[in-house]
Structure 1
Amino acid sequence: MIRYTKRDVATSFTAVAFTIIAVTGVMMYFHLLDAYTKKLHENLGLFFVAAALLHMYANWGGMKNYFRKSLFHIAIALGTVVSLGFILTAETGKNPKNYVINSVLNAPIESSFVLFDKDTQKLRDKLDKAGIVIGNSANINDIAKANHTSPFKIITIIEK
């Protein structure tokens, strides 16, 4: 039976996770297969953190020596400056997707219904058939609240 040390396990899993995180990060930068890579990158990122912590634990004696070196302190300072540079210069404006979604959900019913079908009566009939009461609701959000459901369920019904 083969026995592995903590160091063997920690290093192997850290190296594999790092490689996948690096590849998916580059793919995300170039917007390659975004729908697939984002989820993998985010979830494996959590696994990578756990593997890295295990790696530090298994190699703590050697790690302490690195912490004393001036190169380590330079790397920490440089990493901090670069990170702060990205954080402080990030765009903080409104997310255009949220703006569009909220505009549609809060627009008058007739205006938002036109986006889905020119025949707004047909959409009203679809909602009625699904048991959704429009009543005096002013917009899709109001319809959803009055029917104790999600506005996205309302859109799903009218999109069928």
Structure 2
Amino acid sequence: MLGLRQISTPLTIGAFILSAVTGVLMFFHLDIGLNKAAHEWLSWALVVGVALHLSVNFRAFRGYLKRPVARGLIAGFIVLLAASFLPLGSGGSPVAAVMQGLRRAPVTQVVALAGAESGQVTERLQAAGYRAEAEQTVADLAGGDRKAQAEILGLIFQK
């Protein structure tokens, strides 16, 4: 029978690899397939692995807490975690505001904004599998899927 010591470190390493790779892919918007779901759900394996690893190596962990550099680093990350809960300023990115406006606008208005011909855009959307109805927003047409929203906007603004 395997002991906690034999399971905790490989579990932590494997889960870290999964979480790190999918997190980096998501950061650079290169995630495909199930990357985001794997990152969100399978990161729980990292939490479990670290908890097991800490329980098996608690004496060594306590020793780290006696070192000023280790305490400082841990405290720094706790401060960063606390700061991550603070609300952002009201400014925000104007690009994000524009994109949000495009997603909420009816497709007909976005087509007019793009200076495109309605018939051509309708054909492009239908060829891609989207059937736009009058006054339907881009978000509604995409069913809330952000990648689909980006695809729809790309089809509308396509030259």
- Name the TM-score class by shorter chain: 0.5 to 0.7
**1:84 aligned partner:** 79
Separation in 2, partners of 1:133, 1:23: 41
1:16-35 equivalent positions in 2, closer than 5 A: 16-18=14-16, 20=17, 24=21, 31=28, 34-35=30-31
Residue in 1 that maps onto 2:6: 8
TM-score normalized by the length of structure 1: 0.52
Unaligned runs of 5+ in 2: none
TM-score, normalized by length of structure 2? 0.52
Percent of aligned pairs sharing the same letter: 17
One of 88, 92, 99 as aligned partner of 1:94: 92
RMSD of the TM alignment (CA)? 4.9
2:84 paired with 1:48: no
Name the structure 2 match of 1:75. Answer: 70
Greater Cα radius of gyration, structure 1 or 2: 1
Partner of 1:152: 142
Q: Aligned pairs, how many?
A: 141
Partner of residue 118 from structure 2, selected from 117, 120, 140: 120
Q: Is the 8 A contact 1:105 1:151 kept in 2?
A: no
Give the partner amino acid of 2:66.
L
The aligned amino acid for 1:94 is G
1:128-147 equivalence runs, <5 A: 133-134=133-134, 137=135, 140-141=136-137
Which residue identity lines up with residue 152 of structure 1 in the other structure?
A
Amino acid at match of 2:11: F
Gapped regions of structure 1 (runs ≥ 5): 145-149
Q: What one-letter code is carried by the residue in structure 1 that aligns with 2:9?
A: T
